[in-house]
Chain A
Amino acid sequence: MITLRGLTKRFGATVAVDALTVDVAPGRVTGFLGPNGAGKSTTMRMILGLDRPSAGQALIDGRAYRELRRPLHEVGALLDARAIHPARSGRAHLLATARSNGIPTRRVDEVLDTVGLDARAAGKPGRTLSLGMGQRLGIAGALLGDPPVLMFDEPVNGLDPDGVRWVRQLMRSLADQGRTVFVSSHLMSEMQLTADQLVVIGRGRLLADAAIDDVIAGSTVAVRVRSPHPDGLAALAARLAAAGATVQAADRTELTVTGTTADRVGDLAHELGVRLHELTAQAATLEQAFMELTADSVEYAGGPTEGGQR
Chain B
Amino acid sequence: MSAQTDAGSRPATAPAAGAPGVFRGAVAAEWTKLSSVRSTWWTALAGLLVMAASAGQLAIYAANANTNDDPTDDRGVVTVGSVLIDSVEMTQYVVLALGLLAITAEFTSGTIRTTLQSTPSRGRVLLAKAAVAGAVTFVLGLLLGGVGALVARPVLGEWGSAPAAGTFGDIVAVAIYLALVGVLALGLGAALRSAVLTITVLLATLMIVPLSLQEPDIDVLNRIADVFPGVAGGHFMAGDTEPYPSLVGLLLLAGWAGAALLLGRYALRRRDA
Contacts and interface: CB of A to CB of B under 8 A. Distances in A.
B228 to A, nearest CB: 33
Nearest to A51: B272
A114 B2 CA distance: 7
A301 interface: no
A124 interface: no
A264 interface: no
Contacts of B5: 110, 146
Contact of B1 (A68, A95, A110, A170): A170
Contacts of A97: 29, 114, 118
Contact of B273 (A51, A72, A100, A174): A51
B132 to A, nearest CB: 11
A9 to B, nearest CB: 9
A45 B119 CA distance: 15
Contacts of B119: 100
A178 B118 CA distance: 23
B110 to A, nearest CB: 3
A50 to B, nearest CB: 4
Interface residues of B, number: 46
A49 B117 CA distance: 8
A190 to B, nearest CB: 18
Contacts of B114: 83, 93, 97, 141
A154 interface: no
A173 B1 contact: yes
B216 interface: no
B118 A72 contact: yes
Contacts, number: 141
A82 interface: yes
Interface stretch (A73-81, A215-223, A273-281): A73-81
Interface in B1-52: 1-8, 10-17, 21-22, 25-26, 28-30, 32-33, 36-39
A85 B104 CA distance: 11
Contacts of B13: 70, 73-74
B109 A126 contact: yes
Contact of B26 (A87, A100, A145): A100
A99 interface: yes
B105 interface: yes
A52 interface: yes
B120 interface: yes
Contact of A69 (B7, B17, B33, B110): B17
B111 A173 contact: no
A229 interface: no
A199 interface: no
A102 B14 contact: yes
A74 B12 contact: yes
Contacts of B120: 49, 65-68, 71
Given A97-B114, A148-B10, 15 more contacts: A48-B116, A50-B272, A50-B273, A51-B273, A52-B270, A69-B17, A72-B118, A73-B13, A80-B113, A84-B109, A92-B36, A95-B36, A100-B119, A111-B3, A148-B12
27 contacts: A49-B117, A52-B272, A70-B13, A70-B17, A70-B22, A71-B117, A71-B120, A80-B113, A83-B111, A83-B113, A85-B33, A85-B106, A85-B111, A86-B109, A88-B37, A97-B118, A99-B29, A100-B26, A101-B25, A114-B1, A145-B14, A146-B5, A146-B6, A148-B12, A166-B1, A173-B4, A177-B7
